[in-house]
Structure 1
Amino acid sequence: MIDASILVVGAGAIGGVTAAKMEGGVRRVSVLDADREHVERMRDPGLLLDELGEERYVRLDAHADPSSIEGPFDFALVTLKAPHLEAALGPLVEIGLSKTFVSLGNGLVQDRIAGIVGTENLVVGTVEWGATNLGAGHLAQTTMAPFVIGEPEGETKDRTRLLAEALGTVADVRITENISGQVWSKLLVNSAFSGLGAVSGLLYSEVVADPAGRGAALAVWREGYDVGMAQEITLDEVLGVPADSLVVRGPEDRQRADEALEVAMGYAGATKASMLQDLERGAKTEVDVINGGVVERGREYGVETPLNERVVELMHAMERGERRPGRDVFEGLTD
């Protein structure tokens, strides 16, 4: 058993699966989530975890109110959606519920979290495996892939190694001294596959199996890659492939990109986009910090990102109920 205490903040697909798989592997796991029905079911009869087709119930120490949790914890794993960060994390900092906060969410949220908890109290991570929220008290892990974690300033610390041990009870873990490169590489995954998966209603593998979808994904990826290069970010490997292996600028690049896609989809092909899950629940998506994050940085650094802009427009229209996800969105998303 790993001698670490963990608070999972946000028990959606990623957070809930993480807590359930960590239970019994570390000294203490508690969960904080605003959905009271979900919390009650996680407590009794337990979270129903579908782990790649194998189901089991896991009873969790789950809470809807942070004042009912006794701290401090070694780590608070932040798996919240971007719109809820400030409201949820402020009270945790105020009552001193955790020593270190770990950003595990999608998109460009790390600076926002650092502004709430303090950069010195933040470890940054990404999650390459996928999961689906099937309803209150019922979550499924759909793919297997690693966590990647690192310190904002790069140097690995004792807390980084302890966190890696704790997360290792859930999935493989890689420590990087280039976490900014990993964050941007993961943003490319989310913008290309989660963004397009959401607006089309398709799994990641279904996006790339569609010829128009594959072309759109590679074009969206290239825009984000170019924005990363403009920032002089050294991009990290993601989903088993170098980020530049999916950059297509001419016909001579396509075979390499197709081969890299096959590797990447071996890790993540069965993933249902978290933003598609949001749309299906009628919830606000994180498109503004995913595709919108690419657009914002592109404007800042003088890189045009018309396809990412179009994904943002489509997603907002779907959030408003003005159109529905479908394959027809791929028209106009290739260049």
Structure 2
Amino acid sequence: MRIGVWGGGALGLLWAARLATLYPETVLVTRTREQADAVQYEGIHVIGQDGDVEQIPVQAVESNKVTDSFDVIMLMVKQRDFTTAFHQALSTCTPDGVVVCWQNGVGHDAVAKETHHTQEVYGAVTTEGAWRESMTTVRHTGTGQTWMGPLLGKREDHPSSLRSFIDRVDRRWCPVALEDDIQPRIWRKLIINSVINPLTALLEIENGELLRLPDAVALIREALEEGVAVVRAKGFRLEVDDIFNEVKVVCEKTATNRSSMYQDLMRGQLTEIDWINGGIVKEGRAYGIPTPIHETLIRLIHIKEKRNRR
């Protein structure tokens, strides 16, 4: 089975290294030639949670130079790059292959739905943590669970290639489960990200610091109430107390992590705020549910984006 890992960020590096030990023909597809050449030459250095470093040989290629065909593609790019990457990935995926989308937030499902394809499109949600230290080095910062399921509708007859793939990864690396409907998982993670990401980015603090700021904790609770109201209107069962406790657990487990949104702002890049908090606001308007806190967080992040990109 040929596996393509599309995207050289933290999770892309981590999963490309993992999969290369199971499927030697795994290829990391990067945005730049510089990163592809570096990985091709050095391999990927994975720093474990115990501090040990493992160097794993991995094939790599720039995205516009891909000539291989893949049976399964792990599409791990940012939401802002999704549309282009999705079409590129489809063109290199076998007609009966599977593309697994790992994006934060929502909106990528609409792109997939509007695009003609014969391949199966799945979504993935993970609680694992990783930090990219360089083009070829990734630090595994937190263990967790991963779920995969059909992105465009419920189904129980999952592709045998994906079942086989998940079984091997689950036994060798980390817990991975198949879901018949991934949307509840996507929205649950979106609600969590909608408070941790923008607040840590605006306050310029690590995740664990949020819990030590009473005003931030109060704001988290109020924002969660908005988000949960929207999700419940969509038909997903979610309780504010449960998700609030989950936010606290995530902050504690990733206490020394900088959220992806915080990292984006540090690099002067655009964030995924429009696909995370923006998803809540958009759905809130559709259901007539006010979301003033999320609207304010979006405005503040956009202000900071413009300031940092000057």
TM-score (norm 1): 0.82
Q: CA RMSD in A?
A: 2.4
Give the SS at the match of 2:301. helix
Query: Is 1:110 paired with 2:113?
Result: no
Count of residue pairs the alignment pairs up: 303
Q: Is the 8 A contact 2:72 2:93 kept in 1?
A: no
Q: Please state whether the residue corresponding to 2:236 is helix, strand or coil.
A: coil
Q: Secondary structure at the match of 1:76?
A: strand
List aligned pairs for 1:51-66, cutoff 5 A: 51-52=48-49, 53-66=51-64
The CA deviation at 1:313 is 0.8
CA shift, 1:233, in A, is 2.0
1:282 to 254, 258, 268: 268
1:206 partnered with 2:209 = yes
Residue aligning to 1:149: 148
Tell whether the 8 Å contact from 2:73 to 2:98 is kept in structure 1 after alignment.
yes
Partner residue in 1 for 2:6: 9
Q: 1:116 to 1:199 in 2, by over 3 A?
A: farther
Give unmatched runs, 5+ long, in structure 2: none
Residues 189-204 of structure 1 aligned to structure 2 (within 5 Å): 189-204=192-207
Separation (CA, whole Å) in 1 of partners of 2:249 and 2:304? 31
In the TM superposition, what are the counterparts of 1:62-73 in structure 2 within 5 Å?
Answer: 62-71=60-69, 73=70
Q: Who is 2:40 aligned against?
A: 43
Q: Does the C-alpha gap of structure 1 residues 191 and 307 become closer, same or farther in structure 2, counting only changes over 3 Å?
A: same
DSSP 3-state at the match of 2:16 = helix
Contact 2:8-2:28 within 8 A present in 1 as well:
yes
Q: Is contact 1:82-1:286 (8 Å) kept?
A: yes
Alpha carbons 2:94, 2:119 under 8 Å: kept: no
**Are residues 1:314 and 2:300 paired?**
yes
Report if the CA contact (8 A) 2:6-2:76 is conserved. Answer: yes
TM-score by length of 2: 0.88
CA shift, 1:263, in A, is 3.6
Find the partner of 2:90 among 81, 90, 93.
93
Is the contact made by 2:68 and 2:92 (CA closer than 8 Å) also made in structure 1? no
Question: Any unmatched runs of 5+ in structure 1?
Answer: 236-242, 248-256, 324-335
Identical pairs, percent: 23
Residue 272 (structure 1) aligned to one of 258, 276, 286: 258
Is the CA contact 1:22–1:170 (under 8 Å) kept in the aligned structure 2?
Answer: no
Q: Distance in 2 between matches of 1:41 and 1:204?
A: 31
Alignment pair present for 1:245 and 2:241: yes
Alpha-carbon distance in 2 for matches of 1:244, 1:17: 32
Partner of 1:252: none
Output the CA distance in 1 between the equivalents of 2:157 and 2:256: 32
Q: Equivalent residue of 2:174, what SS?
A: coil
Question: 1:117 & 1:200 partners in 2: Cα distance?
Answer: 42
Of 155-164 and 21-30, deviating more is 155-164
Moved over 6 A (4+): none
Structure 1 residue corresponding to 2:218, chosen from 201, 215, 220: 215
What one-letter code is carried by the residue in structure 2 that aligns with 1:105?
Answer: Q
Q: Which amino acid aligns with 1:293?
A: G
Deviation for aligned residue 1:312: 0.7
- In the alignment, structure 1 residue 31 sits paired with structure 2 residue 28: yes
CA contact (8 A) 2:32 2:63 kept: no
The Cα of 1:204 is off from its aligned counterpart by 2.0
Query: Which stretch shifts more, 45-54 or 109-118?
Result: 109-118
Equivalent position of 1:240 in the other structure:
none
Q: Pick closer, same or farther for the CA change 1:26–1:274 going to 2, 3 Å.
A: same
Q: Return the alpha-carbon distance in structure 1 between the equivalents of residues 173 and 30 of structure 2.
A: 20
Q: Is the Cα–Cα contact under 8 Å of residues 93 and 117 in structure 1 kept in the other structure?
A: no
Q: CA deviation at 1:42?
A: 1.2
Selected match of 1:175 from 150, 173, 178: 178
Deviation at 1:117, TM superposition (A): 6.0
Residues 8, 78 of structure 1: 8 Å contact kept:
yes
